[in-house]
Amino acid sequence: MKNLYLVIIATLAIFEVKSDELLVKIIDDNGQSVSDIVVYAKPNMEVENLPVNKETLYIEQKGKKFSPYIAVMQKGQTINFVNKDDITHHIYSVSGENRFEFKIKAGVEKVTNPMLVTEEIAMGCNIHDWMSGYALVVDTPYFGKTNKQGMITFSLPKNAKYEVTAWHPQLDVKDNRVSQSITVNHVNLSTIITLPENLLPLPEQTGQDEFDFIEEY
């Protein structure tokens, strides 16, 4: 009997840990899961000792494209650009307050200044104008992108209210994002966000220069 009691205590302890986790699923207008969309959870009230995400954000230039096409980062983090192509790129931020512009030679890694303003950063390349990519700067360490099943899990301090937001540059609504409030406790362990409309098609990242040779004839 004592053993059974211990098992129950241990089981409760496991559930206690799991109650910190929030599962978010993103679906589109047709009920289909949406993969590779940015989701972040921001505490509505000041949460003490909000951790800082220490993961380095790498954005590669590969095949004359930004890879990944969209990224998310915490305010104060840098972007580490890595040119995997055998040619030079000339990367720049299109607008906004987190500005950068530099040439990056083949094989080189370049670290930006910390991004200090929460906003959507659009970036391009002066040499290959079809290249486009985005990095979203958020004021929370709880962020990521959905998996193939359209899901993402956050480990969150419990008994707090969060605004959970899905963002994508091809989500054609105000600020390219939709939000939902949720109080995370031992009852609320998952939520579904339905996008008000389907994502627009991703831009075609192929350039004119592949055809220049043909055009000369």
Chain positions contacting Cu ion, by CB under 5 A: 89, 125, 127-128
**CB closer to Cu ion out of 130 and 157:** 130
Tokens of 181: 């409030």
Least distance between Cu ion and beta carbon 109 (Å): 15
**CB closer to Cu ion out of 157 and 207:** 207
For the CA atoms of the chain, what is the radius of gyration? 21
**CB closer to Cu ion out of 89 and 145:** 89
Least distance between Cu ion and beta carbon 66 (Å): 9
**CB closer to Cu ion out of 53 and 132:** 132
- H-helix or E-strand containing 15? helix 2-18
Residues across the chain? 217
List, edge to edge, every strand of the sheet that includes 57-61: 66-67, 57-61, 79-83, 109-111
Count the Cβ atoms, other than its own, within 10 Å of residue 162.
Answer: 27
Bridge partners (DSSP) listed for residue 103: 90
Least distance between Cu ion and beta carbon 127 (Å): 4
Question: Which residue matches tokens 């486009």?
Answer: 132
Q: What three-state secondary structure class fits 212?
A: helix
Least distance between Cu ion and beta carbon 104 (Å): 9
Least distance between Cu ion and beta carbon 186 (Å): 50
**CB closer to Cu ion out of 112 and 140:** 112
Rounded CA-CA distance 177/41 in Å is 13
DSSP 6: H
CB of 205 closer than 8 Å to CB of 177? no
Tokens of 2: 């004592």
**CB closer to Cu ion out of 8 and 106:** 106
Least distance between Cu ion and beta carbon 100 (Å): 14
